[in-house]
Amino acid sequence: MAAVVVLAGAGTWTAVAAGDDTPAVHSADRVMTVDGVRLDTSYFTAGGTGRRPAVLLAHGFGGSKDDVRPQAEKLAREGYAVLTWSARGFGRSTGKIGLNDPKGEVADVSRLIDWLAKQPEVRLDKPGDPRVGMAGASYGGAVSLLAAGYDDRVDAIAPEITYWNLADALFPGGVFKKLWAGVFFSTGGGAARFAPEPAAMYERVAESGAPDAAARALLEARSPSAVADRIKVPTLLVQGQTDSLFTLAQSDAAAKAIRENGAPVDVDWIAGGHDGGDLEGDRVQTRVRTWFDRYLKGDKAADTGPAFRVTRTGGVDSTDGAARLRGASADAYPGLNHGDRSFPLTARREEQSFANPPGASPPAVSALPGLGGGGLAQLSSLGVGVSLDFPGQFAAFDSAPVAGDLRVTGSPTVTVHVKSTSDTAVLFAKVYDVAGGGSQVLPSQLVTPVRVEGAKAGKDVTITLPAIDHKVEEGHRLRLVLASTDLGYASPTAPATYTVSLKSDLSVPTAPAVTTAAAPLPSWVWWLPLAGAAVALALLLSARRRTAGPAPDPALADVPLLITDLSKKYANGDRYSVRDLSFRVDKGQVLGLLGPNGAGKTTTLRMLMGLITPDGGEIRVFGHAIRPGAPVLSRVGSFVEGAGFLPHLTGRENLELYWRATGRPAEDARLEEALEIAGLGDALARAVRTYSQGMRQRLAIAQAMLGLPDLLILDEPTNGLDPPQIREMREVMIRYAAAGRTVIVSSHLLSEVEQSCTHLVVMDRGKLVQAGPVAEIVGSGDTLLVGTAAPVEEPVAEKVAALPGVASAVLADEGLLVRLGPDGTAQHLVAELVRLDVPVTSVGPHRRLEDAFLTLIGGSA
């Protein structure tokens, strides 16, 4: 036994990439000499000095130890001592590729285990026998199986997408898998990098296009199947569904053999494979780790997963267009022939003949190694086919439409009778899934090649079709196709005619025990909407509490409006728009709310309508406190700050819809009365957007009067009206109040309120200036302005003031301002003035209110 010699060693602490709780991984590169071959190795450990199980990670064909470094570091952090190495002929290791020669690559593994046994942190089962597991994909998976067979110190293995019998893999059915074999050998670096025996074997077979017995013997001797009865360790077999190189049949053979030896075996069919597709790296690595946790660390609680798991495609992920994968699992591995169902291939059951073209060209197309074949193969599970058969080069046998969904899991089988014009016939058998429209897909793009010797005489052949996991939709047909060529394989180049006929039904395996797991929905799907509903509820409930108002006051039931200490400051305003405003309006009054622009009239009315909320104070209408949407507002009609109509509707529709929006009976509206006040005539049938300002104004006032509200609020109602209409409006208001209702009119124009109002509230800069009956504010008696041709002298004015019936007389700009006493009349005054030689040109009533107003709001103008 050759000893391992460490030639050079160098240790480096790798940086910690993840969080603080992730232990740093120590990696040391060493070159070891085994049997004259220098092996490039890396050794990974993390945290502590305690003894731990070891894991040997092997790389795939054409790769090097660097490929498995991320997985090694992860395993090291999980508490394993991990050794990786570049196999002979790969990376920086020397030596020739021996295709996992028991005396070469497999022996190397034993030397590495020797080395591991000497490491202080590696747990030992007994001296020289470390607790060690092996994992790797493809070429590395095979060496794991082989090492478990040749070295009984290996305690658990997890080979991925690898072969059990390399002869079966490269020469299936006695047919040379030329495309994949070529890729395999050229990836190795050509003949020069190979050991002489395999190099010669490949050249011989590739040239002849047909494998010989010696080639088979060489590959079988170097395959795990050669030590089938000696692999007795727990084995996790991960195999690819889109893998025309190492098919599911390979892992099936391995699973059977190892289970026969009494070791636990789990089988996991991943979506991808050598043809491409999703290798599910993260999931597989996690499963491999739990496998080692269970069988190396001895952690009985570690969940190694189901005995059989298959990844199924659940359609396309609409968020990124990727295929959606789902796991289906069973408590037992069903094998490839479980639960067979028979499908008679009824359509065109008779004998069919087809040609093998000279030169075997053009070939049919199925799987394409390295050409994105995996992506294409995966599409087959979505119902897209890219396979190709040339007319005249194949026979097809269809089943009846499938009743109910059919899930094929395993290898269908069929027996056919083959006759050929040549001695040797090579057929490629495949089962298509044919949709109702005639489009067909080849599940996983896989075919089974069959070499039939002595076909001239005719021969019955039982064909085991490719193992697949594929769902056939209801109504689809199964189509058995036997073709004479395939791009991936070497077939006879001599022209021939093949004649085939069916000897049996198509037997299709199903594994009903394998059930698809429910789609894994993240938990937030449930709690997020609930949390959203809770937040929404909290938002609504907390708002509702704040809008509750005080109780109604029965004492004020007949008081249309009582405003107490009302204040409002807009959020973006710098001063109070309304400050400590208090006034009262009684039934039957026409109240004028008078003040210059900006006095706070409109703000007060907005609060009165519940449109804005006061900062302080209270508004009561008929005893009910006003808050947004207070029901008592149904007794209030309002026209504030101009009209508000839906421009696309006619005047009449607007009023009708407004009334319907109040929810009150149509007969209470008094629509016709209101429309009469608006006086719009034919214009009522026109869209409001065509109205003039005055027309909208009148329509809006009509709207305010709909239902004859007990309290009518009109804000600047005469804006935009012409004089006759203004006069008419005044009369409307006076009549309205005379019927026992109450009207509030706001205006900045004195003339408007003076002539129609009974009471006044004068506001300025948000404050109440004066409130009371018009007469009270105006004062008693009549004031006359006497216009004179020339300015009047002061002594004359005094004389006038002394006249009987005259209370006072003062000089004004254009003449004399005379207030008559209780017994004075204008006629007497004029007569007396003429007697005093006052050049009278006119006598008229003086706007006393205007004076009062200006005096009251003094200085604001």
Partner 1 sequence: MSTLTEVASGYQASRTLPLRVELVRQLKRRRTLIMGGILAVLPFVLLIAFAIGGEPGGRNSQVTLMDTATASGANFAAVNLFVSAGFLLVIPVALFCGDTVASEAGWSSLRYLLAAPVPRARLLWSKLVVGLGLSLAAMVLLPVVALVVGSAAYGWGPLELPTGGALDPGTAAQRLVVVVGYVFVSQLVTAGLAFWLSTRTDAPLGAVGGAVGLTIVGNVLDAVTALGDWRDFLPAHWQFAWADAVQPTPEWSGMIQGAAVSVTYALVLFALAFRGFARKDVVS
Task: Restricting to residues 431-450, name those near partner 1 by CB under 8 A.
Answer: 435-437, 439, 441
> Distances in Å between the alpha carbon of 710 and those of 644, 698, 704, 736?
21, 19, 11, 10
Q: What 3-state DSSP class applies to 775? A: helix
Contact window for partner 1 (CB under 8 A) among 158-166, 234-242, 352-360, 707-715:
707-715
Closer residue to partner 1 (CB): 641 or 793? 641
Minimum distance, C-beta of residue 667 to partner 1, in the bound complex (Å): 9
Q: Of 298 and 315, which CB lies nearer to partner 1 in the complex structure?
A: 315
CB 462 within 8 A of CB 338: no
Q: Does 610 participate in binding partner 1 (rule CB under 8 A)?
A: yes
Write the burial class of residue 423 (CB in 10 Å: 0-12 exposed, 13-18 middle, 19+ buried): middle
d(CA 689, CA 118) in angstroms, rounded, equals 96
C-alpha to C-alpha distance for 195 and 185, rounded to whole angstroms: 12
| CB contact at 8 A, 230 and 149 | yes
Q: Which of 47, 62, 588, 623 binds partner 1 (CB under 8 A)?
A: 623
Helix then strand then coil, % of the chain, to nearest 5: 30, 30, 40
- The DSSP letter of residue 517 is P
Minimum Å gap between C-beta 677 and partner 1 is 17
User: Of the two residues 129 and 653, which places its CB atom closer to partner 1 in the complex?
Assistant: 653
**Residue 472 or 508 with smaller CB distance to partner 1:** 472
Nearest residue (CB) to partner 1, 662 versus 755: 662
According to DSSP, the residues that pair with 129 across neighbouring strands are: 126
**Which of 19, 631, 795, 804 touches partner 1 (CB under 8 A)?**
631
Site string for partner 1, 244-263 (x = CB under 8 A): --------------------
Q: What is the distance between the alpha carbons of residues 105 and 102, in angstroms, rounded to a whole number?
A: 6
Minimum distance of partner 1 from residue 568's CB (angstroms)? 9
Smallest separation, CB 558 to partner 1 (Å): 6
Token code pair at residue 360: 């075997």
Q: How far is the CB of 780 from partner 1 (least distance, A)?
A: 33
Q: 769, 860 in Cβ contact below 8 A?
A: no
Output the smallest distance, CB 707 to partner 1, in A.
Answer: 6
Q: Indicate whether 707 belongs to the interface with partner 1 (CB under 8 A).
A: yes
749 binds partner 1 (CB under 8 A): no
Is residue 638 close enough to count as binding partner 1 by CB under 8 A?
A: yes
* Smallest distance from partner 1 to CB 555, Å: 8
Handedness of CA 671, 676, 678, 681 (dihedral sign): positive
Residues within window 85-124 making contact with partner 1, judged by CB under 8 A: none
Rounded to a whole number of angstroms, the minimum distance from the CB of residue 440 to partner 1 is 9
Can you give the three-state secondary structure of 383-413, one letter per residue?
CCCCCECCCCCEEEEECCCCCCCEEEEECCE
Bridge partners (DSSP) listed for residue 408: 470
| Residue 721 burial class via C-beta count within 10 angstroms: exposed 0-12, middle 13-18, buried 19 and up | middle
Nearer to partner 1, 127 or 437 (CB): 437
Burial of 421 (C-beta count, 10 Å sphere; 0-12/13-18/19+)? middle
- Three-state DSSP class for residue 244: coil
Chain positions 299 to 338 lying near partner 1, rule: CB under 8 A, are: 314-319, 324
Q: How far apart are the first and last CA of the chain?
A: 117
**Rounded to an integer, what distance in angstroms lies between the CA atom of residue 591 and that of residue 585?**
7
CB of 560 to partner 1, least distance (A): 11
Residue with Cβ nearer partner 1 (292 or 645): 645
Least CB distance to partner 1 at residue 546 (A): 7
628 part of the interface to partner 1, by CB under 8 A: yes
Q: How far is the CB of 639 from partner 1 (least distance, A)?
A: 9
Identify any residues that bridge with 483 across adjacent strands, giving them in sequence order: 394, 428
Contact status: 693 vs partner 1 (CB under 8 A) = no
| Contact range with partner 1 by CB under 8 A, out of 336-344, 604-612, 778-786, 831-839 | 604-612
Q: Looking at 146, 154, 632, 771, which residue binds partner 1 (CB under 8 A)?
A: 632
Three-class secondary structure of residue 329 per DSSP: strand
Neighbour count for residue 832 (Cβ, 10 Å):
17
* Nearer residue to partner 1 within complex by CB, 6 or 400: 400
Footprint on residues 639-668 left by partner 1 (CB under 8 A): 640-649, 657-658, 660-665, 668
Residues 518-577 that bind partner 1 (CB under 8 A): 519-522, 524-526, 528-529, 531-533, 535-537, 539-540, 542-544, 546-547, 552, 554, 557-558, 570-571
Residues within window 135-194 making contact with partner 1, judged by CB under 8 A = none
CB of 671 to partner 1, least distance (A): 14
What tokens appear for 849 in the block?
Answer: 């209110």
Q: How far apart are CA 417 and CA 337, in angstroms?
A: 22
Number of residues that bind partner 1 (CB under 8 A): 90
* Closer by beta carbon to partner 1, 207 or else 667: 667
Instruction: Please identify, using beta-carbon distances, which residue of 65 and 476 lies nearer to partner 1.
Output: 476
- Taking CB under 8 A as the binding criterion, the range among 64-72, 210-218, 388-396, 622-630 that sits at the site for partner 1 is 622-630
Contact present, 233 and 155 (Cβ < 8 Å): yes
Beta carbon of residue 431, minimum distance to partner 1 (angstroms, whole number): 16
Say whether 672 sits in a helix, a strand or coil: helix
Q: Which of 284, 609, 674, 797 binds partner 1 (CB under 8 A)?
A: 609
Residue (311 or 638) nearer to partner 1, CB: 638
Q: Report in angstroms the alpha-carbon separations of 655 from 56, 643, 671, 685, 714.
A: 87, 12, 8, 12, 17
State yes or no: residue 690 binds partner 1 (CB under 8 A). no
Which is closer to partner 1, CB of 642 or CB of 772? Answer: 642
Residues between 466 and 485 with contacts to partner 1, criterion CB under 8 A? 471, 473, 476
Using only C-alpha atoms, the chain has a radius of gyration, in whole angstroms, of: 51
Per-residue CA distances from 602 to 594, 613, 860 (Å): 11, 13, 18
Three-class DSSP category at 482? strand
Q: Which amino acid is at 641?
A: E
Min separation Cβ 248 and partner 1, Å: 23
Tokens of 243: 């893998």
Return the residue of 613, 690, 842, 860 that touches partner 1, per CB under 8 A. 613
CB of 56 to partner 1, least distance (A): 34
Indicate the residue among 213 and 661 with the shorter CB distance to partner 1.
661
CA nearest neighbour of 247 among 339, 366, 398: 366
Backbone angles phi, psi at 201, to 5 degrees: -60, -50
d(CA 168, CA 449): 11
The span from the CA of 87 to the CA of 250, in Å, is 23
Sign, CA torsion 467/468/474/477: negative
Of 532, 540, 373, give the one whose Cα is nearest residue 446: 373
- The least distance separating partner 1 from the CB of residue 158, rounded to whole angstroms, comes to 28
For partner 1, the binding residues in 205-234 under the rule CB under 8 A are: none
Q: How far is the CB of 58 from partner 1 (least distance, A)?
A: 32
Identify residues 363-392 at the interface with partner 1 (CB under 8 A).
379, 382-385
Going by the DSSP 8-state scheme, the letter that residue 276 receives in this structure is: B
* Least distance from partner 1 to the Cβ atom of residue 348, Å: 23
703, 674 contact by CB (below 8 A): yes
703, 718, 756, 783: which one contacts partner 1 (CB under 8 A)? 703
In the complex with partner 1, which residue's Cβ is closer, 301 or 543? 543
Our CB check for partner 1 shows the closer of 125 and 474 to be 474
